[in-house]
């Protein structure tokens, strides 16, 4: 797995509590409430990771800053929805416009961790294996076991403004 570029879904995959936070407004409050999967980051941190998300591009900078602040981790690249398309369509467009020209279009170079079944089907059409988080993380039983013994929550990392 370490030889693959991970194509990582943000909403419902890296964000563990998306169902609870998706309607929170303003967006800054939503970001404060977002929690990220520590075990998933641990599993992929040695790989090159590209976040490909349907989240709007105008929320990209804040989203990446929040991920870094709460997890101390950054993806190699991140692409947000700049065309206001549905998830499978924008992710395919991002593959074709940015990822394939830069990294190659051989599906064997990649592995997608993706929540949306229609998006996983699109990845499969490009020869890219794809699994949802709950199946993917089973590939790393030692990480799951370690995280179960050390249940620290990433939402405990507070924003600098909240601690003042």
Element (H, E) at 104: none
pLDDT of amino acid 1: 78
Distance CA 45, CA 2 (A): 9
> pLDDT at position 24, please?
97
Residue 150 has pLDDT above 70, yes or no: no
Asked if the model's pLDDT at residue 160 lies above 90, the reply is no
Write down how long the chain is.
164
pTM of the model: 0.90
- The band of 145, judged by pLDDT with boundaries at 50, 70 and 90, is confident
Is the CB of residue 76 less than 8 Å from the CB of residue 103? Answer: no
Percent of the chain with pLDDT over 90: 86
Which tens digit of pLDDT belongs to each residue from 59-93? 999 999 999 999 999 999 999 999 999 999 999 99
Q: Residues 40, 160: contact at Cβ < 8 Å?
A: no
DSSP for 40-98 reads HHHHHTTS-EEEEEEEEGGGHHHHHHHHHHHHS---SEEEEESS---HHHHHHHHIIII
The helix (run of H) or strand (run of E) holding residue 108 is: none
């Amino acid at each position: 797995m370490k030889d693959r570029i991970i194509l990582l879904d943000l909403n419902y995959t890296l964000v563990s509590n998306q169902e609870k936070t998706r309607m929170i407004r303003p967006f800054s409050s939503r970001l404060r409430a977002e929690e990220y999967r520590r075990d998933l980051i641990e599993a992929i941190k040695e790989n090159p990771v590209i976040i490909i998300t349907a989240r709007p591009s105008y929320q990209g900078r804040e989203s990446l800053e929040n991920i870094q602040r709460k997890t101390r981790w950054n993806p190699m690249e991140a692409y947000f929805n700049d065309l206001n398309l549905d998830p499978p369509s924008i992710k395919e467009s991002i593959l074709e416009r940015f990822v394939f020209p830069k990294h190659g279009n051989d599906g064997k170079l990649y592995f997608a961790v993706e929540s949306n079944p229609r998006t996983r089907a699109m990845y499969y059409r490009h020869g890219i294996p794809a699994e949802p988080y709950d199946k993917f993380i089973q590939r790393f039983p030692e990480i799951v076991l370690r995280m179960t013994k050390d249940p620290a929550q990433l939402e405990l990392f507070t924003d600098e403004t909240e601690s003042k």
